[in-house]
Amino acid sequence: MKILITGGAGFVGSHLADRLISDGHSITVIDNLSTGRYQNVEHLEGRDRFRLIIDTVLNPTLMEELIRETDRVFHMASAVGVKLIMERPVQTIETIFQGTDVVLGFCSRYRKRVLIPSTSEVYGKGISVPFREEDDLLTGATNKHRWAYACAKTLDEFLALAHWKETRLPVAVVRLFNTVGPRQTGQYGMVVPRFVKAALDNEPIEVHGDGSQSRCFGHVSDIVEGLVKTLENPACFGEVVNLGNAEETTIKALAEKAVAMTGSSSEIRFVPYEEVYGDGFEDMQRRVPSLEKAGRLLGYKPTRTLDDIINDVAKELRMESAAANSE
* pLDDT-based confidence at residue 171 (cuts at 50, 70, 90): very high
Does 208 map to a domain?
A: no
Query: Pairing relation of β-strands 214-216 and 248-250?
Result: antiparallel
Residue 320 confidence (pLDDT): 87
User: What's the CATH number where 154 sits?
Assistant: 3.40.50.720
Q: What is the pLDDT of residues 283-302, one digit of tens each?
A: 788 999 999 999 999 999 99
Does 280 map to a domain?
A: no
Which domain covers residue 137, as residue numbers? 2-181+219-246+288-303
Does 15 map to a domain?
A: yes
What does pTM read for this prediction? 0.93
| Residue 193 pLDDT greater than 80, yes or no | yes
Contact at 8 Å (CB) between 217 and 192? Answer: yes
Residue 186 confidence (pLDDT): 66
Residue 219 confidence (pLDDT): 98
Does 189 map to a domain?
A: no
Sign, CA dihedral 54-59-61-63, equals positive
Residue 280 confidence (pLDDT): 62
325 compared with 83, residue with greater pLDDT: 325
Does 257 map to a domain?
A: no
| Residue 159 pLDDT greater than 70, yes or no | yes
Residue 110 bears catalytic tag: no
Q: What is the pLDDT of residues 257-271, one digit of tens each?
A: 999 999 999 999 999
Does 138 map to a domain?
A: yes
Half-sphere exposure of 45 (CA within 13 A, CB side): 10
Q: What whole-number distance in Å separates Cα of residue 95 and Cα of residue 87?
A: 14
| Residue 188 pLDDT greater than 60, yes or no | no
* pLDDT-based confidence at residue 142 (cuts at 50, 70, 90): confident
Residue 30 confidence (pLDDT): 98
Residue 327 confidence (pLDDT): 64
Share of the chain above pLDDT 70, in %: 96
| Residue 83 pLDDT greater than 80, yes or no | no
Split into its structural domains, the chain has a count of 1
CB neighbours of residue 15 within 10 Å: 23
Does 259 map to a domain?
A: no
Catalytic residue among 123, 149, 277, 300: 149
Does 24 map to a domain?
A: yes
